[in-house]
Structures are given as C-alpha cells and as structure tokens.
Structure 1
Amino acid sequence: MAQSQGWVKRYIKAFCKGFFVAVPVAVTFLDRVACVARVEGASMQSPKNPEQKIIKRVIALEGDIVRTIGHKNRYVKVPRGHIWVEGDHHGHSFDSNSFGPVSLGLLHAHATHILWPPERWQKLESVLPPERLPVQREEE
C-alpha cells in the first residue's frame, strides 16, 4: 500500500513540474504565430531595459491618434512601425505615457490568459474602456 502511494506522489509531482514548465512555453509558442491585436495585452522588451519583459495593453497602432494620460503632449499620433501601450493602473504604470510610442521590434507576443497565481486564472478580455479608445484611427 505504501509503495503505491509513493508512485502516486511521484506521478503528481512530475505532472506539476511538467505542467508549469510546458504550459507557458506552449502559450508563448502559440501566441508568437498570431498577429498583433489592437487591444490584447502585449509581451515586449522594456524600452528602458531590454533585459526586462513587461506586459501592457495595446491602445493604438501606427497612424492612430491617442489621448495621453500624463504624457508631455496631450495627443500623440503613433508613428509608423510603433504602437501605444498602457498598463491597467494608470497612476502607477510605466508605459507609453512615460516613454512614448514603442517600436514594433520590441514586441514579442500577445497575452491571452493569466496563469499565475492560480487564483487569478482567467482569459484576458480585449475590451478597452471608452475613454481609452484612440481619438482617431487611420483608415486601412
């Protein structure tokens, strides 16, 4: 009986290790083949520290005009090859309102789910509050 319980413990431990290593890699791989969405959270290199990865919400794409929050300019037209990103906590977020438009070259993937901590597991919604929508979108 004790021997069978040891096998179960080893199996569960191996499964948990594999799950927490494999799932983020699988999610990243699947997201890397997707296109940039206007509102999904985005995983990118920090413009100030390329070693750091940050996740922000894409607010506007190139050509869009966005109303800023605390940026030196009240309105910004996002230049070609760039995006405008913002965190969910505007007063405490290091985002485009701090460093301006972000080069698409720094973008790695888009986030679709929160996996950690487990009590926050959820699918990320791609809905912006009306006050954060771009003022004007460039026609495609």
Structure 2
Amino acid sequence: MAFGLFIVRLFLGVPFIIWGIGKLRGGDARIAPLIAKLDFPDPKFMALMVAICETAGGVAIVLGWPLRTAALLLGLWCLLTGYLEHRGNLTEFLKNVTMAGGFFALVVVGGGALALFGGDAPGILGWLP
C-alpha cells in the first residue's frame, strides 16, 4: 500500500511541479491577464505567487510532507480554479474536480510509509488536517 500511495502522490504532485515551473519560466505572463480580470491587485505578483504555490505544493505532495496540509490546500485550489477559470469548459472543469477528489482522498488516508517524516508536519502545521 505504501508504494501505491507514493504512485498516487506522483500522479497528483508532478503536474503541479511542471505547471509551477512553467509559470516561473515565463508562463506567468499568460495567467496575469486572467488574474487581472478577477480584479486582484498586482496581477503579475499574484501570477508569481500562483507559480510558487503550485511548485511548492507539488513538491510537498511528492515528498509526502506536510502531506495533509498541502493536499487540503491543493484540493481547494483545484475547486477554486475549476470554478473561476474552467466552468465554461466541462472537460477542464471536471479535470479539476477529479484532481480535488484525489487530493481530498490523500487528506483522509495520509501519505503512507514512503512519505517524508511519515507525512505529518511538526509544530503549527501539525494542527492542520
């Protein structure tokens, strides 16, 4: 089971690493106009924050630490971006909902034996699910 959960973490985390790095390498210019349409302040800065959060979240999922916190946040992220950016495209919207379901499943079952530090975060992060 531990190896199976590691494979699940790879399937869910690696795309976020790829998407985040792509945004860090200039792809943020593509999403800054989308963020501007949502009336957020400083769309370029927000696009950079999206890139950093996607990359860090993907790495946290792959490493399995802090797994439950990262999985919860990325699951909510998938639902939010699915609604805000993909609700007009049913396939893209359902892709986001499906990824959210995978992240929420990881919140429930944890990262398995192959998760860094057992997947549980120490300190204040350990209070989160």
TM-score by length of 1: 0.29
Which structure has more relative contact order (CA 8 Å, sep 6+)? It is: 2
Relative to its length, the structure with more helix (as a share) is 2
TM-score by length of 2: 0.30
- Higher gyration radius (CA): 1
Relative to its length, the structure with more strand (as a share) is 1
